[in-house]
Structure 1
Amino acid sequence: MTDVLGWFFQTFVLTGISLNFMLMGVAFAATFANLVDEQELDPIVQRFNPVLNISILAAIVDLGAPLDYHLIMGAGVYTAVYIIARAIGKYGGARIGATIMHMPETVQKYLGLTLLPHSGVSLVFTGIACATLAPLPDCVSLVQGTIAAAAVINEIIAVILAKKGFEKSGEIRVTSK
């Protein structure tokens, strides 16, 4: 439905402007979820979840497939800067926001750590950025290499940090082996 509306607006209303149909679908779903009563929404969500899960998997595979993982080695400094800046922003922003909102100390300390993993979202926005930068192939390679390397590194390190954040905040129990 959103694809048809997106095509219509791009073809007849907003000529010359490139619309992102994936983001339009997200906006439509969020609007729909906020307009429908919660009791009515639950059965719809239950039926739709299998379709959503397959769609998300297909989208992530589609966005990740064209990434040239050989670019990871060439991204070096940019990847380090991206990972560090993103981590500081996530942790600092969560800490400041939680402090301003007078959240419990555990939220102020550990929420930022739980926000660090990011593969799927970064791949979606990498696809959008690369489509926009298509006339500049060197920039596309740089963005793809940086995000691919950051995703690989973050999915190893950030997941461990997120788990530690959940453990230290008391949200999950540590099981002894």
Structure 2
Amino acid sequence: MENLFYTLFILFVSGLILSRFAKKVNIPNVTAFLLAGLLVGPYVLNIVSAELLTDMRFVSDLAMGLIAYSIGSEFKIKYLKHLGATPIVIATLGAFGAMIFVLLGVVIFGFPLPLALVLGAIAAATAPAATIMVIKQYRAKGLFTETLLSVVAIDDAVTLIIFGFNAAIARTLIAGTFSFSSILRPFAEVFGSILVGAVLGLLLTYAFRFFSSSGNRLILLLGFITLGIFISQQLGFSPLLLIMIMSAMVANLYHDHVAMDEEVSHFTPPIFMLFFVLSGASLDPRVLPTVGILGMVYLIARVLGKLTGAYAGAVLMKAPDNIRKYLGTALLPQAGVAIGLSYAAQSIVPMYAMQIQSVVLAATLIYELVGPVATKWSLGKANAIEK
């Protein structure tokens, strides 16, 4: 327990110190938090051990739940009507663009098709957490920001479906047998997450009626977020998608949701900082020299695919010029979902599992450090940041 409190002290202080440095050199706080974690983590200075990182996994789960709630609270019916189908098309083509570019790149460089299929599917994933934090830090507003928020939210569902299809094809190529259930599984995961999230949202909205104080409502909300995480872990659903839907239900049905969102925003900064410092501490720079050509192909092809797909989607939907030019650059961060899928690859293509994990972990290290800076650049170029 003493080690745990000392670890918390180190994580908080290192994050704060580097965030001051970040302000001086004009980079996002998220990048500073990640760098702080990388420095104090087990793979550089080893002030924070790998065992303690494992013990603090619940902090990351709770932070992701709060981030999902923050995204979902933006999805009011009026807001969705205003945006139309544009975010869906951009998210879908951005995900498929990354998948196709990585798949083709890996195959062209002589790697097996099952490996290419799984890596391509993982490339579709975009991490919403870093994007949300950059948007909050710079108080980005407007159509560009609204579209970006929706795209990163939808991306999770699209990635799960792509991964399910590609995994089924990879299994068929290796085993020579086809399983229809493996095709249906990602759809069940997505629709199950939506259904349970909607039910929890209805229950939470009803329960709010019995509590008038802001403190009690915040406690109730945290209880439902942790319940949503628990259910998703037990049933194999997406916690991000489930809690986003729960939050969207509250935003549309609860009369005082704006005040509720403000209460949450006052509570979350230390948790979010801790989440990113812990994420940085989990990054292992030793994997970088091990990825070779495969890692370089993945890194470059994913960026090209995201940019091309997002641009194509924006052009197809006749989106404004700033969305066409700059939204794709804000979709580069990659973390939790991608890492989770890389571990799932152990049961799909076990003979390539180590290669996949090394590539994804190395890519995460680079994307998470560079991605927030790219997102800030995109928001600035799109005139989404208030001067």
Shared fold (TM-score, shorter chain, > 0.5)? yes
Distance 2:21 2:130 in 1: 26
Find the counterpart in structure 2 of residue 61 from structure 1: 65
Q: Does 1:90 align with 2:104?
A: no
Structure 2 counterpart of 1:58, which letter? L
Distance 1:78 1:24 in 2: 29
Alignment check: 8 A CA contact 1:83 1:150 kept: yes
Find the counterpart in structure 1 of residue 171 from structure 2: 167
Alignment check: 8 A CA contact 1:110 1:169 kept: no
Alignment check: 8 A CA contact 1:93 1:112 kept: yes
SS at 2:85's partner residue? helix
Find the counterpart in structure 2 of residue 144 from structure 1: 149
Q: Note the C-alpha offset of 1:170.
A: 3.2
Distance 2:159 2:97 in 1: 13
Structure 1 counterpart of 2:164, which letter? I
Distance 2:156 2:80 in 1: 10
Structure 2 counterpart of 1:103, which letter? F
Q: How does 1:88-167 map to 2 (within 5 A)?
A: 88-100=97-109, 102-116=110-124, 118=125, 121-131=126-136, 134-155=139-160, 157-167=161-171
TM-score by length of structure 2 reads: 0.35
TM-score by length of structure 1 reads: 0.66
Distance 1:154 1:111 in 2: 12
Structure 1 counterpart of 2:143, which letter? D
Q: Go from structure 1 to structure 2 and tell me whether the alpha carbon gap of 1:59 and 1:138 turns closer, same or farther (over 3 Å shift).
A: same
Q: Percent identity?
A: 7
Q: Note the C-alpha offset of 1:35.
A: 4.2
Find the counterpart in structure 1 of residue 233 from structure 2: none
Distance 2:36 2:18 in 1: 14
Segments of structure 1 that go 5 or more residues without pairing to the other structure are: none
Residues 38-92 of structure 1: per-residue CA shift (max 9 Å, x gap): xxx9xx434531312x122122112111122335563512321232123222331
Q: Go from structure 1 to structure 2 and tell me whether the alpha carbon gap of 1:169 and 1:131 turns closer, same or farther (over 3 Å shift).
A: farther
Where relative contact order (Cα < 8 A, 6+ residues apart) is larger, the structure is: 2
**Number of matched residues?**
164
